[in-house]
A = this chain, B = another copy of it.
Amino acid sequence: MTNLSPLQIERLKYQPKLPSSLANGINHLVSQEGSATEAVANKEEIKALFKNTYGKPTVTFQTSTESVASKERNVGVILSGGQAPGGHNVIAGLYDALKQANPNNNLYGFLGGPSGIIDGKYVEFNDEFINDYRNTGGFDIIGSGRTKLETEDQFQKALGVCKKLNISAVVIIGGDDSNTNAALLAEWFVANGADIQVIGCPKTIDGDLKNEQIEISFGFDTATKTYAELIGNIERDANSAKKYWHFVKIMGRSASHVALEAALQTQPNITLISEEVEQKKMSLASIIDYMVDIIVKRADMGKNFGIAVIPEGLIEFIPEMKSMIANLNDIMAELESDPAFVNAPTIREKFDIVENRLSEENAKVYNSLPAIIKGQLLADRDPHGNVQVSKIETEKLLIEMISQKLEEMKLEGSYIGKFSAQAHFFGYEGRCAFPSNFDADYCYSLGFNAFALINFGLTGYLSSVRNLTEPANDWIAGGVPLTMMMNMEKRHGEMKPVIKKALVELDGPVFKKLEENREDWALNDRYLFPGAIQYFGPSSVCDITTVTLQLESQEKLDKSRLARV
């Protein structure tokens, strides 16, 4: 790397903070076991599938005055799935702990995601290599990929590669699916007497990998702050020019955590939450009505501008859209090999063919959509033949339908404003930002801690660092059995053991915060401008974490206080 920006040069020098329990050295730890654990649901099925790794206790690390000699080990590490800020620091923390434990230890990085361990594509890390990536964003140190580790054949190949490199532990840095795979691999290695440990690390900007033991996945902090920077800037622009409504769609897959957090940091006029739409069975028409109501009220106050924040996954949560999309997925599987469809001379004719095949109810829904969205529903399909909902421009769908509705109201005389809208989609802008101080510290600690779990001979555990709203010094490091987070869910028609995804809870403190304020934010302009992430300077600016984490920690604290009374 010959080309470095000034910020990168400075960030390479940053020394991430560790919990005090880990800071005394990797060979000065004792492990405290909690009681045996159980899966969050479907206990018997999970237990049967994970005979060797089920039911283990949680562990917590504490400083020991005695030094324990560490045996020599080779470890492999994998980055799995979408990028999240801080991945490089997980590897740096893991590397530093591993070398601190025994300078003869080696760390191998598998290239291009989980396929690297199957195909035997890897690099060996050394100081110089690692040092170029400390506190930087991206997963480019070894690349990432989306291959799922789940078949016997893949496991066999992984075993062969590990044996060749004399690897006795693998760290998988990934989201819920990747950590489900980590659990399967851990179980398989034990069942097959392989003596290779598997440790997971909780990664995803989406924030949907969390539970009682995992307060938040890494990357959520940096990504949401980056999106909030942009939304705040746009709010200020809207409030200055006073002529546009900005519709901002935010990445985050099915869960709305990212949109919700970005909204709490910026206080826009409208925030849609997919989980609420689903639970309240809101139709597309009722969503439009809700938004139009606010737009009209603001127009009556002379304010023909505003900001609406929309979660990426929204469309899947609208009941009639969900039904129509499922119907469409079935039809498209047939149509893709139907010459009448494939060779239809115009897109309009394709629309007609599709409409005729859909059920009456679904055809009505399909037909109500703007042409651009109809086209996207047909065009962008994933390798399984399913529509890629993330590629549907929901923000433009809403703008177009709202425009139509407002036009009608104008003719009736019930709306006298001007509606001019700008659409935005933020996702790739935040997944590889330089990790915030919080994510830099958290990730480094997660990686360092992952090696502690390895050193204590554990497998099938997720690296866990908790108490995150306190200073890093007071963070609690340990491990959580992966099976503890699992339940059975239907995937591709089959019941499978998977880590339960955390969606936004409508009775949780984070959604409630939005609910309590949204009427006020809708009509009065309570815009907050968070600005760019700061890495140096006042602690009040540089060291605060997300509203989500603060509210959820406060709730846990309140609950435990209440329990004690």
Q: For the complex, what is the distance from the CA of A540 to the CA of B3, rounded to whole Å?
A: 15
Closest to A539 in B: B6
Question: Min CB distance, A502 to chain B, in Å?
Answer: 24
Q: How many copies does the complex hold?
A: 2
Judge whether A233 and B237 touch: CB under 8 Å. Answer: no
A369 on the interface (CB 8 Å rule)? no
A544 on the interface (CB 8 Å rule)? yes
Question: Min CB distance, A249 to chain B, in Å?
Answer: 13
A343 on the interface (CB 8 Å rule)? no
Closest to A223 in B: B233
A431 on the interface (CB 8 Å rule)? yes
B residues less than 8 Å from A267 (CB atoms)? 3
Q: For the complex, what is the distance from the CA of A117 to the CA of B382, rounded to whole Å?
A: 57
Judge whether A236 and B140 touch: CB under 8 Å. Answer: yes
The contact of A240 among B138, B346, B531, by CB within 8 Å, is B138
Judge whether A428 and B237 touch: CB under 8 Å. Answer: yes
Judge whether B138 and A236 touch: CB under 8 Å. Answer: yes
Judge whether B432 and A428 touch: CB under 8 Å. Answer: no
Question: Min CB distance, A395 to chain B, in Å?
Answer: 13
How many of chain A's residues have a CB under 8 angstroms from any CB in B?
65
Q: For the complex, what is the distance from the CA of A188 to the CA of B532, rounded to whole Å?
A: 44
B residues less than 8 Å from A348 (CB atoms)? 346, 348
B residues less than 8 Å from A371 (CB atoms)? 347
Judge whether B233 and A433 touch: CB under 8 Å. Answer: yes
Question: Min CB distance, A35 to chain B, in Å?
Answer: 40
A246 on the interface (CB 8 Å rule)? yes
B residues less than 8 Å from A234 (CB atoms)? 428-429, 432
The contact of A530 among B7, B242, B246, B544, by CB within 8 Å, is B7
- Given the interface pairs A246-B428, A428-B246, A429-B234, the reply to whether A229 lies near B140 with Cβ below 8 Å is no
Contact with B along A225-237 (1 / 0, CB 8 A): 0100110111011
Question: Min CB distance, A378 to chain B, in Å?
Answer: 14
Q: For the complex, what is the distance from the CA of A137 to the CA of B530, rounded to whole Å?
A: 11
B residues less than 8 Å from A541 (CB atoms)? 6-7, 10, 536
A323 on the interface (CB 8 Å rule)? no
A9 on the interface (CB 8 Å rule)? yes
Judge whether B529 and A8 touch: CB under 8 Å. Answer: yes
Judge whether B237 and A83 touch: CB under 8 Å. Answer: yes
Question: Min CB distance, A344 to chain B, in Å?
Answer: 14
A32 on the interface (CB 8 Å rule)? no
A372 on the interface (CB 8 Å rule)? yes
9 closest A-B pairs by CB: A536-B537, A532-B532, A138-B236, A236-B432, A7-B531, A139-B240, A237-B432, A140-B240, A434-B531
